Amino acid sequence: MVAALSDQQHAGAGQPRASPLLLCCFYLLGMGVVCNWVALLQCQDYLGPLFTAYSPSRVLTAAYAALDLLAQSLLFFFGDRLWANKHSRMVVGYAACTAVTAALPLLDMYLLDTAAAALGPQAATAAYFGAWAGYSLVAGACSAIIGSVTYAQAAVYGPSYCQAFVRGRAASGLSCILVRVLTKATLPDNPAGLRQSTLLFLGAAAALLAACTAAASWLPKEAPGKAAAAAVSVGFFVPCFIFPAMLSPEAGSWPAVGSWWTIMLVGAFQAGAVAGSALPLYSIQHPQRFISLLAWGQWAVVPATLAALALHGGPLALLGITFGSMVYGYHVASLVFWLACEGLGSAADVELVQGLLVLTLTAARLAGLLLSWLWG
């Protein structure tokens, strides 16, 4: 039987009602948790022509995902020994993301303008690619540091906070895309305009991450209540395997979309994520069986995408598949991140289950990036 999910269902004795301020805080933290990843994708229209010899769309994203998975694994298995203070872990993670994001526009202006005169354009460009590679590695590690805490914190606080966090995570990508579209569309469509729009976009991303750092610093160290349950299924992460393949040069070679393809594709992805995370949550009598069925349905996106590419369905077909799969996938994601903890009796158990889910998501993303190399 399906029943409406509510805070009262999990409320313990004396547990306060959902705080609007805390809900806003978790929504903001959700926006920041994937901000660096989305920023890395959204800057490819600038980085691709600049770093033609280095394949930035694959090298930088793979570096990010690899460090994310490595750090996530270390924190999952040895987190209490390496960094037991989870509150400081979250604050430092957001602060480091803010610092490296804010540094990129400064390095861009220094290396490509000032240093280029002394080092030469080729050496300056190579140094700047090194800066982006360093950004990818640091941001990937920081993503793991943040993810090892924030998902579990949201679940421990209660279903309303968990849903606010997931909704903020989905809205992050769409917000970044709107800012990117605004900066790209209002400036000249030439290398100088593209560069300026990218630097403005990175500045806006750094401002968002600074706000997340402030919110993480303010967040109370103890949750007002306990969370509960036990159903772990991760099949809804299948889109992570196929989505990077759509970013390959062959998939985005249509003259009608040109350099807008990455923005359009990630926009469809994030719009679907927002729509899927906005659907209501509900409790299930047999959560493992139910979510397993939903997860198996997620595999349909793989043959659908391959068929669209093989039959030359064009950009609209891929955008429609992406949007639909994300509505489905993020609804399942919202369910899993809450139902996986329904019935668990302690915050430590919740953190263990949420850590496993985040670790699996990170591994799926890296697998998707590696799979995309098969597309040429």
Helices (H), ranges, the chain: 7-10, 20-33, 35-42, 44-50, 56-82, 86-109, 115-119, 121-157, 159-185, 191-218, 239-246, 261-278, 287-297, 301-310, 314-339, 347-372
Band of pLDDT at residue 26, cut at 50, 70 and 90: confident
pLDDT at 354 over 80: no
Rounded to whole angstroms, the Cα distance separating 171 from 351 reads: 24
Q: Which two tokens stand for residue 361?
A: 């998501």
- Tell me the HSE value of 26 on the side-chain side, using a 13 A CA sphere: 26
CATH number at 276 reads 1.20.1250.20
Tell me how many domains the chain contains.
1
**pLDDT for the residue 182:** 81
**pLDDT for the residue 347:** 59
Query: Can you give the length of the chain in residues?
Result: 376
User: 249-290, pLDDT tens digit by residue?
Assistant: 444 456 666 667 777 777 787 788 778 877 877 666 666 667
- Answer yes or no: are the C-beta atoms of 100 and 213 closer than 8 Å: no
Rounded to whole angstroms, the Cα distance separating 255 from 201 reads: 25
pLDDT at 176 over 60: yes
User: 100-156, pLDDT tens digit by residue?
Assistant: 999 999 999 999 888 888 888 889 999 999 999 999 999 999 988 888 788 777 777
**pLDDT for the residue 299:** 67
Least confident of 84-93, 178-187, 206-215, 227-236: 227-236
- Look up the domain containing 371 and give its range: 3-10+19-375
Band of pLDDT at residue 224, cut at 50, 70 and 90: very low
